[in-house]
């Protein structure tokens, strides 16, 4: 006797595919594994795509696109270089859309680096000193003060580092998770190489 009370229909598969960009069979399997729960199926696909992306992290990604965004008021402009392994993937609508979304995100979220390891050491140390001084003023047990400082530092990275930031169009997912999801869907390494942000009158 089947454990599925309601068979998965084409409409559900199409809806999940529209939300995630995953293939039809991946969507069908995810819905079957989660008993038709759309939210759980979406989460399952995100995990699977991330796992696939990790396996190809050491590959070379020399193709891709440079996307330029100019804000409607003409005061903010960004450039983002998004890389992949082949020009075939670089020309897909999903890849082009992610590049556009990232350029918009950089304009709005003002990241200071692509990855945590790209943040200058002096910036990290400065923040650590500030947080340590703040915690010293609080009446907290000595044993947890270091953990509080590390927690504040993690929060700083989430706010300032591109791949750690919540995506401006959907704050339930980080930019890094979006990039990994596309890598999982395409079967290629996808990575943000660099970005630049210009603001009129800025430094």
Which pLDDT score, from 0 to 100, does residue 78 have?
97
pLDDT at 1: 33
Q: Please write down the long-range contacts of 1-9, taking CB distance under 8 Å and 24 or more positions apart.
A: 4/32, 4/35, 4/36, 6/36, 8/32, 8/36
Question: Which of 97-111, 140-154, 168-182 bottoms out in mean pLDDT, i.e. has the lowest?
Answer: 140-154
Q: Where are the domains of the chain?
A: 10-55, 63-115+161-199, 120-153
Q: Please check the confidence at residue 186 and state whether its pLDDT lies above 90.
A: no
Name the CATH superfamily, with its identifier, for domain 63-115+161-199. Answer: Elongation factor Ts, dimerisation domain (3.30.479.20)
Q: Which residue has the higher pLDDT, 31 or 20?
A: 31
Which of 130-134, 145-149, 163-167 is the most confident on average? 163-167
The yes-or-no verdict on residue 2 having pLDDT over 50 is no
| Mean pLDDT for the stretch of residues 167-188 | 91
Q: Which CATH architecture has domain 10-55?
A: Orthogonal Bundle (1.10)
Distances (CA, A) of 103 to 27, 66, 84, 86: 28, 9, 16, 21
Quote the CA–CA distance of 156 and 128 in Å, as a whole number. Answer: 10
pLDDT at 111 over 50: yes
pLDDT above 70 covers what percent of the chain? 88
Sign of CA dihedral 137, 142, 146, 147: negative
pLDDT at 154 over 90: yes
Q: Which residues contact 139 (CB under 8 A, 6 or more apart)?
A: none
Instruction: Look at strands 76-84 and 191-199 and give their pairing.
Output: antiparallel
> Tens digit of pLDDT for each residue in 34-87?
888 888 888 887 777 666 656 555 666 679 999 999 998 899 999 999 999 888
**Global pTM value:** 0.69
- What local confidence, expressed as pLDDT, does residue 203 receive? 61
**pLDDT 10s digits, 9-28:** 888 888 887 776 666 788 88
CA separation, residue 182 to residues 21, 48, 85, 94, 138 (Å):
8, 11, 12, 8, 44
Q: Tell me: pLDDT of 5 over 60.
A: no
Q: What is the mean pLDDT of residues 152-159?
A: 96
Q: What is the pLDDT of residue 54?
A: 63
Q: Span 99-116, mean pLDDT?
A: 97
State the pLDDT at residue 28: 86
Question: What is the side-by-side order of every strand in the sheet holding 76-84?
Answer: 63-70, 76-84, 191-199
| Average pLDDT of the chain, as a whole number | 87
């Amino acid at each position: 006797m089947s454990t599925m009370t309601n068979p998965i229909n084409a409409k559900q598969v199409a809806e999940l595919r529209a939300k995630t960009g995953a293939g039809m069979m991946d969507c069908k399997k995810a819905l079957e594994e989660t008993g038709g729960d759309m939210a759980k199926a979406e989460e399952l696909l995100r995990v699977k795509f991330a796992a696939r992306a990790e396996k190809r992290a050491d590959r070379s990604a020399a193709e891709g696109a440079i996307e330029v965004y100019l804000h409607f008021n003409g005061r903010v402009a960004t450039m983002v270089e998004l890389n992949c392994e082949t020009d075939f993937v670089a020309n897909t609508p999903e890849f082009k859309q992610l590049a556009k979304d990232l350029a918009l995100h950089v304009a709005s979220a003002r990241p200071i680096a692509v990855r945590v390891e790209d943040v200058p050491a002096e910036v990290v140390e400065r923040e650590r000193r500030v947080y340590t001084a703040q915690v010293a003023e609080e009446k907290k047990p000595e044993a947890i003060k270091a953990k509080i400082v590390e927690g504040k530092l993690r929060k700083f990275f989430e706010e300032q580092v591109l791949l750690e930031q919540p995506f401006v169009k959907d704050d339930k997912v980080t930019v890094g998770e979006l990039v990994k999801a596309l890598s999982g869907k395409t079967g290629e390494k996808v990575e943000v190489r660099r970005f630049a942000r210009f603001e009129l009158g800025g430094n």
